[in-house]
Amino acid sequence: MERASKLRAITEYAKARRALAVDAERLTEVLLPTPPAALKKVGISRAIEIVAQAAANLRRPECPASVREGHLPVVNAHIEKMRVADREEDEVRTGYYALRAALALFKAELETARVKDYATLVGLVQSRPDAEEFFLPAYQRGGADGTEDDDEEPEQPAQPSGGGASPPA
């Protein structure tokens, strides 16, 4: 949303700049000095600052009334839309980081419980290697995405009852 609103604002800014160049070319570099291409390269916050300054310049008395009346309301509306989009994306980012932090904290609590269980089990079985058997490795082995175990014992196929085809083991 940030990028879309910024692109729309730059489009309107460019229209105002072209209109100003037609009416009073010498004022373009004074009132709207930033080329639209340069606006595309800056972040949303800086773009808001630049376009807001441009809107302030369009209110100056030397700005032709036709440009001011034709473009200032539209530019102002797009500045507000950029501010809203910037704020909303900041909130989404903040929420995401908070969720990630909460998840990391939760995993740390689970890890504490694992360590406690391990200590209890070492006391019970009196052997660290035996206590290890109660825990799975961090990542499963074998799968393309590292999620499949490959060390499980193969299951014995069910023996058909009453059938005599299979020799006894």
Partner 1 sequence: MQTYTSRVSLERYRADALHREAMCRALAADDPRYMTVAESAAASVHQIDARAMELR
- Contact status: 103 vs partner 1 (CB under 8 A): yes
> Interacting stretch for partner 1, rule CB under 8 A, among 12-20, 24-32, 37-45, 105-113?
105-113
Any contact of residue 115 with partner 1 (CB under 8 A)?
yes
Question: Considering the complex, what minimum distance in angstroms separates the CB of residue 159 from partner 1?
Answer: 25
Nearest approach, Cβ of residue 121 and partner 1 (Å): 6
Helix (H, G, I), strand (E, B) or coil at 9: helix
Helices (H), the chain: 2-31, 36-41, 44-58, 65-125, 128-132
CB of residue 158 to partner 1, shortest distance in Å: 22
* Site membership for partner 1, residue 92 (CB under 8 A): no
One of 65, 136, 158, 169 touching partner 1 (CB under 8 A): 136
Q: Tell whether residue 107 is a contact of partner 1 (CB under 8 A).
A: yes
Q: Does 131 bind partner 1 (CB under 8 A)?
A: yes
113 lies in the binding site for partner 1 (CB under 8 A): yes
Give, in order, the Cα–Cα distances in Å from 149 to each of 129, 141, 143: 20, 5, 7
Burial (CB count within 10 angstroms: exposed 0-12, middle 13-18, buried 19+), residue 113: exposed
Q: Is the dihedral of CA 130, 132, 135, 139 positive or negative?
A: negative
State the nearest-atom distance from the C-beta of 99 to partner 1, in Å: 8
Residues in Cβ contact with 77 at an 8 Å cutoff, skipping those fewer than 6 apart: none
141 binding partner 1? (CB under 8 A) = no
Whether the CB-CB separation of 28 and 68 falls below 8 Å is answered with no
Positions that interact with partner 1 (CB under 8 A): 99, 103-104, 106-111, 113-118, 120-121, 124, 131-140
